[in-house]
Amino acid sequence: MNRRTFLRAAAAGWLAPAARPAPAPEFDRNKRRRVGLIGSGWYGKSALLRLIQVAPVEVVSLCDVDRRMLAEAAAIVASRQKSGKKPRTFSDYREMLAQRDLDIVMVSTPDHWHALPMIEAVKAGADVYVEKPISVDVVEGQAMLAAARKYGRVVQVGTQRRSTPHLIDAKREIVDQGKLGQIGHVETYCYYHMRPTANPPDTEPPDYLDYDMWTGPAPLRPYNRLVHPRRWRAFMEYSNGILGDMCIHMLDMVRWMLGLGWPERISSSGGIYVQKGAKANITDTQSATFDYGDLTVVWQHRSWGRAADPDYPWGATIYGEKGTLKLSVYRWDFIPEGKGAPIHRDVVYELDKYPEDRTEKDLERHVAPALRRHMADFLAAIDSRSRPVADIEEGYISTASCILANLSLRLGRTLHWDPKKGHIIGDEEANRLLARRYRSPWVHPDPAAV
């Protein structure tokens, strides 16, 4: 923001003084906690290094099927944790968990590998931080929730919009104060050009990657360089597409802000309309409607073309009778109806307090404060044996809602969800798709038998 824009914004009231920030969650900062990470790639390291920043943890174990990625993670952890020690390294999460010496396990694998390690970690007595979406099918999520409750473990999901400081302020200052009035409609959206458009040939996997173990319970596709690292989200075999990657964040944020549970009806349409030459098999265009009866939450993504609002290429807009609230990871804007000045807030970086954020490779610097607060909330819940802000049940609801939207697209019809019975009402074909087939020898988790 330049000086002229700043002065104009101040005069209009957009930069009104913020309310007192919500206090950070409190936890025992002297307690030593032993941590293990499964999946040491981009976001695994990002989340783990934020945990190291907020608490005196000792990272004792790392696990990954990519030897190069694992070695890089071990080196950076040793350089950042207080002891300076390199963690033990494993290529199989089962061997790591068999040591039964971890207080916290972080699961930051590709989505198709979330369920089994998370369930085994709670069985081994650890509290768990698992990335979103928690699963790639609905029954996996049901089994994960059942396991967390059965073994009495705290499980935090990586839906860190619930811990994003400026979004917490928006909830407290605008939503909770009733400044929107009656809310009847929400739009969520993503217009990032995030879907790969290349079509490289399949090849043999690199010698540093155990591709069979990487694939695990998913279908065994020929190896392609688009799959690893990071672009596996472009394939439905390993993910829930852009809904599972980006919609879940915004849907979960809206659910948290407005106190929403399960939608009653879910519908979706879309397909690959523009980027037909790409190897990716996720949609490049999709809309979904989450119907809450007296409120609809609508999602739209396009991985091509222009954003509807360049200032909000990924975000949510909440429409109320008294005003409109626009929200993103970078900012928020409240525009009142009638009299009253608009209010604007930006993300608050913490680069002076955490200077290592300035140089850390691939770190989303605007997300770092949210990750730190999310970790603090997780640790506070562990200390009190309570449920964290992004408890596994909340992650299950948001994840399953996105999966059901993809099923609606696949089947071409609206789905009616029964949250008590955990199935789709009057649609046996759809219910058969709630659990995917696992590749042998991996066995799909059963919620009744975890």
* Complete DSSP assignment for 143-186: HHHHHHHHTT--EEES-GGGG-HHHHHHIIIIITTTTT-SEEEE
Domain 162-361+392-431 is found in CATH 3.30.360.10: yes
Domain boundaries, the chain: 34-161, 162-361+392-431
Instruction: Say if residues 111 and 239 touch (Cβ distance below 8 Å).
Output: yes
Distance between CA atoms of residues 258 and 95, nearest Å: 42
Neighbouring C-alpha atoms within 13 Å toward the C-beta of 196: 18
pLDDT of the chain, 450 residues: tens digit per residue: 343 333 334 444 444 555 677 888 999 999 999 999 999 999 999 999 999 999 999 999 999 999 999 999 999 999 999 999 999 999 999 999 999 999 999 999 999 999 999 999 999 999 999 999 999 999 999 999 999 999 999 999 999 999 999 999 999 999 999 999 999 999 999 999 999 999 999 999 999 999 999 999 999 999 999 999 889 999 999 999 999 999 999 999 999 999 999 999 999 999 999 999 999 999 999 999 999 999 999 999 999 999 999 999 999 999 999 999 999 999 999 999 988 999 999 999 999 999 999 999 999 999 999 999 999 999 999 999 999 999 999 999 999 999 999 999 999 999 999 999 999 999 999 999 999 999 999 999 999 999
Q: Are strands 104-107 and 323-327 parallel, antiparallel or unpaired?
A: unpaired
Neighbouring C-alpha atoms within 13 Å toward the C-beta of 205: 19
Nearest to 61 by CA among 44, 53, 46, 350: 44
What is this structure's pTM? 0.95
Q: Are strands 58-63 and 88-90 parallel, antiparallel or unpaired?
A: parallel
Compute the Cα dihedral for 58, 77, 114, 91 and give only its sign: negative
Distance between CA atoms of residues 331 and 239, nearest Å: 28
Nearest to 319 by CA among 208, 185, 431, 196: 185
Q: Which CATH superfamily groups domain 34-161?
A: NAD(P)-binding Rossmann-like Domain (3.40.50.720)
